[in-house]
Structure 1
Amino acid sequence: MKPYLFFKRILDFIFSMILLIIASPIMIFASIAIKIEDKKGPILFIQNRPGKNNKIFSVYKFRTMRVETEKNGVILSDMERMTKAGSFLRRTSIDELPQLFNILRGEMSFIGPRPLLVRYLPYYSIEEQKRHNVRPGISGWAQVNGRNLVNWNDRLKLDLDYVDNISALFDMKILFLTIYKVIKREDIIVVTENPMLDLDKERSGNNGNKTTRRTNV
């Protein structure tokens, strides 16, 4: 595994640089569209996530929601906050393009377990903590097998399957499946009442109201 991981990092660096150059016009247009529709907010959505060996880093995505969280004292839903540009960016996965900078910096890989929320860390089993033995990815084995439509236990098991069986062929399989699903727009929930509770709420026994969440975490 170790020789491949070294080679994988080199490929990640090279292809992230190439894709940043190729995708730069798309990223510029996306940035302009975001600011036109909501001038008040930043272009990027930045959030801390745990990476390899649980090291915390800032993950970058294009912002897809308005900055306002309430109007006239009423809390706005994700559907109400979603911009037209943001909806398009999510459906096409363009909102993930800024993570190419995370790959360039060595914080992420193209393929790997998705970096989840920092607050989930205490709720993984010892075995599930192994998902942090490798760099997190823009796409992973769980993402091409249902994304957030898969329950937490199965989703984390898919992450472990990847860590235990990581190889060049496995990464290529996930890459091609990712491209296929993006083109077909499969398993993409833009804004909805997610049938899954957040991991910390589910495992702490807090089965209160289900929350809306980004589906591409």
Structure 2
Amino acid sequence: MGNQISHTQTVDEHDFVAKLDRPFHHIYLPFKRLFDLIFATLLMIPASIIILIFMILVKLETPGKCFYSQERVGLMGQSFKVTKLRSMYSDAEKKSGAMWAKKEDPRVTRVGHFMRKTRVDELPQLWSVIKGDMSLIGPRPERPMFTQQFSEDIDGFEQRLLVKPGLSGYAQVHGGYDDTPAQKLANDMYYIEHFGVLTDVGIFFETIRVVVTGDGAR
């Protein structure tokens, strides 16, 4: 785990159950972790083959590294590194700096568009799930600068940090890369308010559908 960023130090991990008034969630959390470990480990086998194929495609289309790593903000404001397959040109943010994803993003390669549509670029993060930085299901972890900005601009944004970030989630299968921070927050809050076994299982299978069909992902 990395260092905790200052703007999230007021987040109380016990606040999660207190806000929702559902104490059985404490019982579910260790089972959720076990679910993450088992399924992330099993998924790593077919995912490794898919990752290898797209490593070759990324390298053939544009020069540069196949992967990139970024700092993200996770549970209770703890920072950690995520690794993704590169979906943008290698120098995409050299001039513009960090930018919020948008529709028809010119920074994204052709292979990158397909990977984003099917969520293939996220597969290396299965390792983050195994390590415990992430869960299979939860809000997407944001970069520190965006977390800081949105926490200041949008009421309740920090409540996303009350649960572990996820490889997939309600916002990912019901929204897209170009959703506004407020739209993503609304979807994330729906997930937090309905946190539980049935919600996670439903999102898990919905994610499989999106990956196979590309439907619902932009």
Cα shift at 1:11: 1.2
Cα shift at 1:51: 0.5
For structure 2, list consecutive stretches of 5 or more residues without a partner in the other structure: 1-24, 96-103
**Residue of 56, 65, 70 corresponding to 1:32:** 56
- Whether 1:168 aligns to 2:194 is no
Cα distance in 2 for partners of 1:88, 1:6 equals 35
Give the alignment's TM-score, normalised by structure 1. Answer: 0.74
Tell me the equivalent position of 2:169: 140
Cα distance in 2 for partners of 1:22, 1:109 equals 19
Higher relative contact order (Cα pairs below 8 Å, separated by 6+ residues):
2
Cα shift at 1:78: 4.6
**CA spacing shift, 1:154–1:87, aligned 2, 3 Å:** closer
Tell me the equivalent position of 1:64: 87
Tell me the equivalent position of 1:181: 210
Cα shift at 1:52: 0.5
- Whether 1:46 aligns to 2:69 is yes
1:11-46 alpha-carbon deviations (Å, 9 max, x no partner): 11111111111221111121122223334x111121
Local SS of the residue matching 1:156? helix
Cα distance in 1 for partners of 2:88, 2:199 equals 34
Local SS of the residue matching 1:171? helix
Q: What root-mean-square deviation, in Å, do the aligned CA atoms of Structure 1 and Structure 2 show?
A: 2.6
The answer to whether the Cα contact below 8 Å between 2:139 and 2:170 also exists between their aligned partners in 1 is yes
Local SS of the residue matching 1:59? strand
Count of residues in correspondence between the two structures: 184
Cα distance in 1 for partners of 2:210, 2:204 equals 10
Tell me the equivalent position of 1:195: none
The answer to whether the Cα contact below 8 Å between 2:69 and 2:84 also exists between their aligned partners in 1 is yes
**CA spacing shift, 1:68–1:126, aligned 2, 3 Å:** closer
**CA spacing shift, 1:25–1:144, aligned 2, 3 Å:** closer
Cα distance in 2 for partners of 1:137, 1:147 equals 15
For structure 1, list consecutive stretches of 5 or more residues without a partner in the other structure: 190-217
- Whether 1:4 aligns to 2:28 is yes
- Whether 1:153 aligns to 2:169 is no
